[in-house]
Chain A
């Protein structure tokens, strides 16, 4: 690892260099600032500053009714908007005791898993740039994402902030060539996953940069409340889709991917393998999904009101456990809406993961946690 300074060197009075990374910086994945206290090239302390993208989503949702709030949930996690919408609407449906028709559940599940694919492609692209490969991973990632986003645009009309789910089901039905289109997209995504695997996984320099770097133990990860691939890479098989199944995850065959070392390479590879699992899940959903059928319950009230009560619903977003704590006091608006952000909890562990490593490693560790600032800040 890093050599300790000799006794002689300790007699010199030196000052640690304060290196400011961000808020505008090519590799901080959004407006994020961290101040690294650096001794030579070794990081002594990391102080993250967040809040640059705070838009008060929780307060604003208190004044919106349940349908208007869907757009806000999209924007709290723009790379995995379907998962965010799903969480929110599952909370609303649980309180209002709405029954979502089966076909709508399959479609929701397909779209959430496709969103997971596109979000992980984004991670692979940005992570490749962090590690230093010049432009290739980013371009590969965008090639695959374009295919996925085109499909989402055909379905919902929007490339990124879909607002397609509604309380009780979907806004409108999917196009008629849905299954065929999804199959095409899956084929190109599989090729993309193979390309990334070939480009990065067995590259010696990539391995040297990422293995053994940014390690977090399973016990620490649980204590920090980490979730998603970041904690699964440390060996903890925590996956909301398996532990507390929602939608139809208990009816399809898939595996939870765990790593063993909890380092940057494991987090990267867990996500890569997870993408293959997502493809598997979507294929099974396509087989089981009916071609026609209702997508909303028959009797939907004009203005959705929820009885008083509270609920905490968690789903597995690509970054971790995206939870919605919804308190309702009757009426058509939430009384309190708390978004439990996976990235915020994962980001807390940044300091433990980076201290004692080199500056270049701190950047890679930040990239491997795969944060999206809109979810951290809401």
Chain B
């Protein structure tokens, strides 16, 4: 490994093994130490390290990542979700430290029949609108969110979740207003 300072996201070498890529040169050991007590697993993506945290421990985990001194993830870059169809949905957090300048990706797996998760606004204020958008696009409910209104979608379409894979793109168009609509058959 080329560098052994724990606070750089040094890329793993090209000879990373297929089964278990060696994460000891990345930020993972520090994260593992900070998240002790929380079942967290890690994976190496193209640039960052992805940490998987179970849903019930997510807020605790995010808090620790933010408050830890060597990690200091004080900046929430992005919060979104990915619809993995049968495998459920994943809520993805991209974290950044303005003082140490390293990155981390945190993922939480949710089952399709229980799309609820605690809100991260208690950790970063930036999560407020990002969670509103994720909620309305995917139908994930963020518990105790201070302002659970729709952000981009109109208020009367709060039951449509456009970014789900099950939501078709062009087959059915439901227009707003009374008497307008094509319905199931498509345009007449």
Contact = CB atoms under 8 A, between A and B. Distances in A.
Contact of A310 (B46, B76, B152): B46
A95 B46 contact: yes
A312 B152 contact: no
Given A309-B45, A348-B126, A340 B78 contact: yes
B42 interface: no
A311 B82 CA distance: 13
Interface residues of B, number: 35
B169 interface: yes
Interface in B143-178: 150-154, 162-163, 167, 169
B152 A54 contact: yes
Given A60-B169, A222-B98, A323-B94, A51 B125 contact: no
B126 A336 contact: no
Contacts of A220: 125
A354 to B, nearest CB: 15
B65 to A, nearest CB: 14
A314 B82 contact: no
Nearest to B105: A312
Contacts of B94: 312, 323, 325, 340
B45 A51 contact: no
Given A225-B126, A311-B45, A312-B94, A58 B76 contact: no
Given A59-B169, A348-B129, A223 B78 contact: no
A94 B46 contact: yes
Interface of B: 45-48, 50, 74-78, 80, 82-83, 92, 94, 98, 101, 103, 105, 124-126, 128-130, 133, 150-154, 162-163, 167, 169
Interface of A: 50-51, 54, 56, 58-60, 62-63, 94-95, 220, 222-225, 236, 238, 243-244, 309-314, 321, 323, 325, 327, 335-336, 338, 340, 344-345, 347-348, 377-378
30 contacts: A51-B151, A51-B152, A54-B153, A56-B162, A59-B163, A94-B46, A94-B47, A222-B74, A223-B124, A223-B126, A225-B76, A225-B77, A225-B125, A238-B75, A238-B98, A310-B46, A311-B45, A312-B103, A314-B77, A323-B78, A325-B78, A325-B92, A338-B80, A340-B78, A344-B129, A344-B130, A344-B133, A345-B126, A348-B125, A348-B126
